[in-house]
């Protein structure tokens, strides 16, 4: 069904033709931001965003900061649709008060990020990075690693991605410990996981993988004290949010030889440029496997999240409700949900 033309601006890279065609079929004029190579929308300032979004009713956004000031400057903007699941960079209270809707692409990237977390566990345990570096240098000596098979894995946070990781771990016959604010006895009975507190996860796990949102309560949940509680030689995997881990403390623990290594897709320097030297020191280490916040960036994962984000935009512009699991603020109902 075709509707009057509405302007939708996309400030994310890799927005595919199927999602564009869907928006156009629904009467939307689609504008893809032409960002310089290597720049993401998180690097755009207020004035740049205002120019890009002038006259837009819908915005499909990546990591740009969505402030009260910005929303006030864009009175026609009805929906901010994140092609992702985090929303800590969006002022939800301001969005609700100003009558806007904010959505996330719930369920679109669960499999992609879970695959990455498992892949990092295997790469760290089997020392893939170190082995290839030695071979490139001409040394073909064998480095002994460690299995994921039947190891103890601590999963911190049991949302959609954490649950996807738990399902994958069953194939490795892993003993799974879960730390979450919402333990579920039925889930434990079905899956065989044990719900424990964070301290027990840290003390017993061979691998600790983080899948929690970044909030004031979770910031630096993995700090020097937490790292000291971990088993000698254990691994930390963070594919969730920079800031859950104190990167400076993690670097110190690796330098001291306390940990076996770390798998990192997110870094504090993403939001704090002053932390860039710490990030560079981490990614230079042979016991660190790193990626540039790319956990959701598979062809399949991006296609799923692009379409979810597009469908949320169309629903709001048509005066309808997006899927409830995607809505994090709905100013049409003057309600701000809790994280």
Catalytic residue positions, numbered? 241, 270, 293
Rounded CA separation 198/46 (Å): 39
Nearest by Cα to 267 from 284, 298, 290? 290
Token pair belonging to 251: 């670097």
Say how many C-beta atoms besides its own lie within 10 A of residue 111's C-beta. 19
Token pair belonging to 276: 């860039």
* Count of helix runs (H) and strand runs (E) in the chain: 13, 13
Question: CB-based contacts of 151: which residues, under 8 Å, 6+ apart?
Answer: 125, 172, 174, 175, 206, 207
What are the b/e assignments for 31-54, b being 16+ CB within 10 Å? Answer: eebebeeeebbeebeeeebeebbe
CA torsion 252-214-86-34 (nearest 10°) is -50
Rounded CA separation 113/164 (Å): 9
């Amino acid at each position: 069904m075709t509707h009057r033309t509405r302007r939708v601006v996309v400030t994310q890279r890799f927005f595919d033709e199927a999602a564009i065609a869907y928006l156009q079929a629904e009467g939307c004029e689609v504008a893809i931001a032409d960002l310089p190579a290597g720049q993401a929308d998180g690097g755009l300032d207020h004035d740049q965003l205002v120019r890009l979004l002038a006259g837009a009713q819908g915005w499909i956004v990546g990591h740009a900061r969505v402030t009260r000031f910005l929303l006030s400057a864009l009175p026609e903007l009805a929906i901010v649709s994140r092609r992702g699941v985090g929303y800590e960079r969006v002022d939800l209270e301001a969005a609700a008060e100003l009558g806007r809707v904010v959505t996330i692409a719930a369920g679109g990237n669960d499999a992609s990020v879970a695959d990455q977390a498992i892949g990092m566990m295997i790469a760290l345990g089997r020392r893939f990075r170190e082995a290839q570096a030695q071979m490139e240098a001409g040394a073909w000596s064998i480095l002994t690693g460690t299995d994921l098979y039947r190891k103890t894995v601590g999963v911190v946070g049991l949302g959609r991605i954490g649950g996807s990781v738990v399902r994958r771990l069953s194939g490795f016959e892993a003993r799974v410990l879960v730390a979450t604010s919402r333990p579920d006895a039925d889930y434990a009975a079905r899956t065989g996981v044990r719900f424990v507190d964070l301290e027990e996860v840290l003390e017993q796990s061979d691998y600790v993988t983080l899948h929690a949102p970044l909030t004031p309560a979770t910031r630096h949940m993995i700090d020097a004290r937490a790292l000291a509680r971990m088993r000698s030689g254990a691994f930390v995997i963070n594919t969730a949010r920079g800031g859950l881990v104190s990167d400076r403390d993690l670097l110190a623990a690796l330098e001291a030889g306390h940990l076996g290594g770390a798998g990192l897709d997110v870094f504090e320097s993403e939001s704090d440029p002053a932390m860039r030297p710490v990030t560079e020191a981490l990614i230079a280490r042979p016991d660190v496997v790193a990626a540039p916040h790319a956990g959701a960036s598979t062809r399949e994962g991006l296609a799923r999240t692009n379409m979810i984000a597009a469908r949320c935009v169309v629903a709001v512009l048509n005066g309808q409700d997006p899927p409830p699991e995607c809505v994090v603020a709905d100013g049409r109902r003057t309600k701000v949900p809790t994280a």
